[in-house]
Every structure is written in structure tokens, then in C-alpha cells.
Amino acid sequence: MESYLELFISELEEYIKQLNKQLLILESNNRNNPSIIEVFRIFHTIKGMAQTMGFDGISEVSHSIEDLLDEAKEKGEVRPNLVDFLFVAADLLSRSAVALKNKEELPPVRDILDLKTKIKKGETLEYYKEQVSTNGIGEIRIKMDKLDTLFNLANELTITRSRLVKISQDIRNTDLQVIVDTASRLISSLQADIMRLRMLPLTTVFEFFPRWFRDEAKRQRKDVILEIAGGEIEVDRSIIDILKEPIMHLIRNALDHGIEVSAKQVGMGKVVLKAVREKERIRISVIDNGKGIDLEKIRYKAVKHGLFSDTEAQHLSEEELFRLLTHPTFTTKDDVTTISGRGIGLDIVNSTAIKLGGRLLISSQSGQGTCFTLELPLNLAIIRAMIFRLDGQRFALPLNYIQETFYAHEDMFQTVYHRELFPLRNGILPLVRLSDRLGCVGKRGRKSVIVVQTQAKRRGFVIDEIVDEGEIVVKKLDPLFSAPFYSGCSIYADGSPILILDPRGFG
């Protein structure tokens, strides 16, 4: 609640500044209709904010002022005595903000409500101004584009830091190394602080859904509730900006496709919106306890849409059938509703996940429900990675996927049914020769093996040698360069580009 209070105070102070600005305009031109409308909007917004936080006095004053401004909006003119009164109301809001900051009792609103009655009767208000004390500037607002500029500059400094470290190691000058070490620490601290400024809790997005969900469930006459968990997890602002639409699509699907009408539903329907952090990634799931996905209906629709023949459709795996749901225009709905059924929802969700360097996972059991999961990185700019060499080329692999590394000679590898395996302690480790998958020429002899864990899959990536480990700045790949093996690119310490591997793309 404390974090919401801080946000409320911050928003209130910003609206008070806007209010005073508009009132000064109205004082010089009481027929400035845009300013009248803006003043009305400000009080309307403050009323809603105060109601949400339980500050009834502020809400009551704002609501009463809305009533006064209705006539002014219709006439396009505000009376001078009303402008004077609105300045007094602005002062009350200022005193309220200070009281909230100091954890003091809010100022009484009875006097200003009495003044409102007099203003409504047309009486003139005598000028008076109560001094509003301040405790200095506790915070400032900064436009996101300026913060983005700082963020990009910090990322470029991170690349420069890597190059400086490489040069100092090559030159081996003690004085230079001391300076570079100091600069590296400062750049790391600067980059970390800017990253923290960009992090926002998922509640920023999640808090929108409960009211919408309640209204839509009522409209569809479905006995269903929405549960939310994990909203306190913080992610990069650039991800927050994009999340609302894909999550909305997933909740719509759960409500419209998954949950039956209450007469058919066994027990109360439930949709869960849940976020879980896993190392440097986040999993946002929308889970329903509805009827589940009918795989046979997907097969039927796939044939009907001309995507596969009858024979081909029968050989599709469960994962392939689920993936069809993300195909543009594909839908299992027989009718189109006001909220879903046109077949574009999951396509948008899947495209958004890929754009953010993540993926959409689908699982379902007939009669038990369905789970759609967005797996995304916490931030899109800086990751810790292992740099390795393959056929003279360098590649990067995110550390959050790596469990361990070891050396092994090729003679120790075993082949079973055309799959290479390695006996690791008490188990068998499936191997993936990255040289074969990436079209490189691998060296024979001793190899480095990187043990990678993705979901329930554990594999060993066979490479030539490990070169380095550290932070790298992630750059987006050109959309024309689309391959499941890569999630981005970066600049290495010597200035050369490197591709960042996505281990999930290797099956």
C-alpha cells in the first residue's frame, strides 16, 4: 500500500501543477473552453484516484467541483468567482499532498464545501491564501524518451568498457589497468542505477484487468472469478509498455473459449493470471479450469482451412496442433463473438513474444483446463553471457541457461539411434553439435561441452572452446534475418560483432 500511496501523492502533485496553470489561463480569459474542459478532467481524475485510495474528503470536494463545472462546460464560460474558488480548492489539494507526505491528518473539507454552496449562489469570494509548506523537492519527473536516451548511452558505455578492459589487458600497463578498473566500476554502477529506474512492477499492467474481467463475465453470464499473483515482480519498462494487449488476448480466450456458461460448468469457473520470475526471465501465465482444448477439433479445422490433408493432420503431434492456434486466421470457434473468434488473438500474442525475445507456451488437458504462458526476458538490453568460439567465429550464450561446462574428447561420445550422448555422472546427456546446426566446420579432438537447461530439457552443446564470460549489450536483429537459433547480436570487446544464441531454438 505504501508504494501506491507514493504514486498517488506524486500524481496528485503533478495534477495540482497542471490545475494552477489552467486556472491562470482562465483568470485572464474565462471563455477558454479547452482550459475549462481540462480543469474538469483534472478534478474528475483526482476524484477517481482518491476514491481508489479511500480519501473520501478529497473525493467529495472533487466531485462537488465537477458539479460546478458542468454549467461552465455547457456555456463555454466560467464565472470569475468560480475561478477564485477553484484556486482555493487547488490550495486544499496542495495541503492534502503535504499532509500525506508527512503522514499527518488531512485538512478538513467542510469549509470548502460551504464555500462551494456560496459560489453556487453567485456570491463573491474574498481573496485569501493559506500558506502551503513544503519540504523541498523530494522527486522530479523525467520523460521516458530522456530516460531511454540515458539508457542507450549507458549501454554504449558498457561496450566501451569491455573494449577498454581488453586493451588494458593487452598492453599490461599497471597505471592504465587501475584507471580502467575504476572506470569499469563506475560504468557498471551507472548502468545498474539506470536499469533500476526503468523497472516497473507488473501491477502497472495487471491492475487493469479485474474490473474489465468482472464486467465481461457478467455480460456473458458466466460464474467465474479472476485471481492475480506475482504483480510485485518488476520488469523493464519497454516490456511493460507492450504487455497489456497480449495478456488481454489470453484472458479473453480463457473467458470466451475455456469457461463454459455457468449451467454447464462444474463448480465455479476460475481464471488465474500469474507471474513467476525464473533467474533473468519471467513467465506470465493465464490459466483456466475450463473444458480444455479439443485436439481433434483442431485437426478437423486444419483440414477444413486447407492447411493439411487428412493424412498429414493425423500425424501432427500435440505440440504442432497447439502451435496451429497461433496461425493467422485460424480459430476453433464456430461463431464470432464481441471479444474473440476471429483467429487473430494468439497470432498477436505469439508475434509479440517473439519480438520481445521470448516465446508462447501452450498446454491443455481435456476437462481440466488450459494454460498459456508468455516466457520473456526481464530486460532487453544487458545480459550475462558466455562467449565461445566455433570454426573461428565467436558466439554468445546467455548464462541463465547454463548449468556447467566441461572438457571431453570426441572418443568419449556415444551414438545411439543417430543421436550423440555423453555419460555424465549418473545420467546420460544428449549432445548437440553446434557446428552442424550452425553450418560451421568443427575441429576434431578435444571439445568443450556447455550443459544447457531449457524447461525440462537438458543438453550438452559441443563447441571448440570457451573464450570469455561477462556482460554484453543485446542488439536486435534485423527482421529480415529470422532464425530460431538466434535471439540477438552484440559487440565484443575487440569491436567485432557476435551472434547471441537462443538455446530453445535447438529443439
Which of 345, 377, 409 is the last residue before a domain boundary? 377
On whether the pTM is more than 0.85, the answer is: no
pLDDT of residue 454: 78
The set of long-range contacts for 106-115, using a CB threshold of 8 Å and a minimum separation of 24, is: 106/55, 106/57, 106/58, 108/57, 109/57, 109/58, 109/60, 109/61, 112/61, 112/88, 113/60, 113/61, 113/64, 115/85, 115/88
Render pLDDT for 374-401 as a digit per residue (tens, 0 to 9): 988 877 677 889 999 988 889 999 888 8
| CATH, residue 93 | 1.20.120.160
Q: Is residue 138 part of a domain?
A: no
Task: Indicate the pLDDT class of residue 336, thresholds 50, 70 and 90.
Answer: very low
Residue 129 within any structural domain of the chain? no
Q: Are residues 419 and 324 in the same domain?
A: no
Using CB atoms within 10 A of its CB, is residue 377 exposed (0-12), middle (13-18) or buried (19+)? buried
Residues 151 and 37 in one domain: no
d(CA 236, CA 147): 12
User: Could you give the percent of the chain with pLDDT greater than 90?
Assistant: 17
Same domain assignment for residues 393 and 454: yes
Same domain membership, residue 112 and residue 234: no
Q: Looking at the structure, tell me whether residues 18 and 167 fall in a common domain.
A: no
Among 157-161, 321-325, 326-330, 334-338, whose mean pLDDT is lowest?
A: 334-338
- Who wins on pLDDT, 334 or 19? 19
Q: Are residues 338 and 359 in the same domain?
A: yes
Per-residue pLDDT at 195: 82
Residue 316 falls inside a structural domain: yes
**130 domain-assigned:** no
Q: Which residue has the higher pLDDT, 449 or 473?
A: 449
CATH, residue 467: 2.40.50.180
Tell me if 132 is assigned to some domain.
no
In a domain, 125, yes or no: no
Give the pLDDT confidence score for residue 483 in this predicted structure: 73
Q: What is the mean pLDDT of the chain?
A: 83
Together in a domain, 66 and 166: no
Residue 340 confidence (pLDDT): 42
pLDDT computed for residue 331 by the predictor: 65
Give yes or no: residues 386 and 483 share one domain. yes
Same domain flag for 359 and 320: yes
Q: Which of 346, 377, 408 is the last residue of a domain?
A: 377
Q: Answer whether 77's CB lies under 8 Å from 125's CB.
A: no
Least Cα distance to 501 among 405, 360, 402 occurs for 402
Q: Is residue 351 classed exposed, middle or buried when 0-12, 13-18 and 19+ CB atoms within 10 A define those classes? A: middle
> 3-state SS of 334-397?
CCCCCCCCCCCHHHHHHHHHHHCCCEEEEEEECCCEEEEEEEEECCCCEEEEEEEEECCEEEEE
The arithmetic mean of pLDDT across residues 28-56, rounded, is 88
Over the stretch 400-421, which tens digit does the pLDDT of each residue have? 889 999 999 888 999 888 889 9
Pair (347, 403) in one structural domain: no
Domain that holds residue 431: 382-506
Domain boundary among 350, 377, 404: 377
Instruction: Specify the range with the lowest mean pLDDT, choosing from 130-134, 151-155, 339-343.
Output: 339-343
Q: Is 439 exposed, middle or buried (0-12, 13-18, 19+ CB in 10 A)?
A: exposed
The Cα 192–Cα 197 span in angstroms is 9
pLDDT score recorded for residue 317: 83
pLDDT score for 459: 92
Q: How many domains does the chain have?
A: 4
Residues 115 and 239 grouped into a single domain = no
Cα dihedral value 4, 10, 14, 15, nearest 10: 40
Q: Return the residue matching grid coordinates 462537488.
A: 64
pLDDT at 504 over 50: yes
Per the domain annotation, does 137 fall within a domain? no
In a shared domain, residues 104 and 235 = no
On whether residue 427 sits in a domain, the answer given is yes
Band of residue 149 on the pLDDT scale cut at 50, 70, 90 = confident
Per-residue pLDDT tens digits for 247-294: 988 998 888 877 776 444 456 789 999 999 987 789 999 999 888 888
pLDDT digits (tens, 9 = 90+) for 104-141: 889 888 888 888 887 777 776 654 445 444 455 556 66
Residue 465: which of 386, 385, 384 has the closest Cα? Answer: 386
Q: Mean per-residue pLDDT for 235-255?
A: 86
